[in-house]
Copies of this chain bind each other. A is one copy, B any other.
Amino acid sequence: MTTNGQKRQKTRKPLLINAFVMGCAGLQNPGLWKHPKDSSHRFNQIDHWTYLAKLAEKGKFNALFIADVLGGYDVYKGPENLATPAVAGAQWPVTEPSAVVSAMAAVTTNLAFGVTFSTISEAPYHFARRLSTLDHLTKGRIGWNVVSSYLESAARNLLNGEKLDEHDQRYLKAEEYIQIVYELLLSSWRDDAVVLDKKAGVYTDPTRFRKINFEGKFFKVPGPHIVDPTPQRLPVILQAGTSKVGKEFAAKHAEIVFVISFSPDDLKPKIAEVRQLAKEKFGRNHDDIKFVALATPVIGATHELAEEKYQELLSYGDIEGAQALFGGWTGIDLSQYGEDEELGNVSSNAMRGAVQNWTKAIPNEKRWTRKVIAKQITVGGLGPAFVGTPEEIADELEHWSDHAGLDGFNFTYAVNPLSFEEIVEDLIPVLQRRGLAQKEYPNPETGSTFRKNLFGTDFVPSTHPAYNLRWRAGVSKEEFEKSLSK
């Protein structure tokens, strides 16, 4: 075993490591803003972000992922109860995630930025410009976390009084939306359209861009795209869907999939299912999709000190805020249950399923009540808090990765930025020594695109649905359009 283990360590790929953040306090840690060392309420200050970005780059992180929601978590004690998340500072208020990217890109060279944008938030033409602009400004260090928005609190403000489409319809619309974005980014301009020939007086060769004339069930977008080709041509596609159609969307499009669970046993079949779907239905390879799991390291010099720290962190947790987050994430209003009710036997399938996973992952907790659930959530959300020494946490991360087929982790914080400082100072060096984290970026001085750092290439592989949509240099408009119509 040791020999095998050592051999595996030498040849294994380093984990994909991201910082998981959002334009709010109380991301996966409701109430922790009260911690004396926490400054997560400074999310509306630029230096909060540039500091984090530099720190993550120091730790050779792949990316900083910015989550987002477009409305508050108003299910708990609802309908439309925002008082609880407001008091608790539980993802309320929330600023726009892309606005901070250029400031962070200006102070980093290799770190990438995964930004969440919903397919219900703006017209695809308008959004495609935003995405292209960010890929240009970051020199190709952008990923798009595709979400289709599930919160009624967002929909009623965005959709002009109309209701959110039902779930499957929303994904159909999202499918069309992403297709338009692909076509605008890839099929509208040829790679070498911008020639900047000062002598001939030609900025863009007009035979090298075209309309896309998209006419779908939901959208009509003639084009052309208003921005020229960007370093990645297509930002890295991220996704976090866990429903049936969500998994299919991920299997088809995603290059990175976020997963969340308390247990690697629970994750293993879920990851395998998406990989299988990707292979069988869409012909994609095992290495075409990276799975990353949410994790909150709580690091101590000894196991006991780490446990003490964890208890100290929990003491700042906001029990009400945790239930508000739970309501937003699951749609389940915990206030409908008794304070002390055992929730493993209630009629709700979702509730029972959650409790079953937690029981597997945290077997010493015999009784899951509202309070116990809330306490669990206050450090780490619906993902695990890894409590221990750097070595112990590295063991756990390795176990999760090997057991569940995980490619990496989204590290989030209990206390911001202290948790990230500890991860970078204490945990990353241990992971690096074991070959579990990269010691350096592929091109530390000049930087690479997000996708190049991840997959070794700037563009998606031929198995990706966007691959054939790219108008490549040297291909005439007629040839390209013929290839599209095949």
Contacts and interface: CB of A to CB of B under 8 A. Distances in A.
A362 interface: no
A371 interface: no
B99 A228 contact: no
A298 to B, nearest CB: 21
A318 interface: yes
Given A121-B122, A130-B96, A102 B46 contact: yes
Q: Dominant SS at the A interface?
A: mixed
Nearest to A36: B198
A124 to B, nearest CB: 9
Contact of A136 (B50, B82, B95, B196): B95
B103 A133 contact: no
A313 to B, nearest CB: 15
A94 B201 CA distance: 19
A425 B99 CA distance: 32
A222 interface: yes
A12 interface: no
A157 B206 contact: no
Interface stretch (A84-92, A343-351, A383-391, A407-415): A84-92
Nearest to A158: B123
A134 interface: yes
Interface in A269-319: 318
A31 B226 CA distance: 19
A92 B230 CA distance: 15
A172 to B, nearest CB: 16
Given A95-B133, A160-B221, 5 more contacts: A46-B105, A47-B106, A82-B206, A94-B129, A123-B160
3 shortest interchain CB distances as A-B pairs: A89-B203, A83-B206, A161-B220
21 contacts: A44-B136, A45-B137, A46-B102, A46-B105, A70-B226, A71-B226, A72-B224, A83-B206, A86-B203, A86-B204, A89-B203, A89-B204, A93-B228, A94-B129, A94-B226, A96-B129, A106-B106, A121-B122, A123-B159, A160-B220, A161-B220
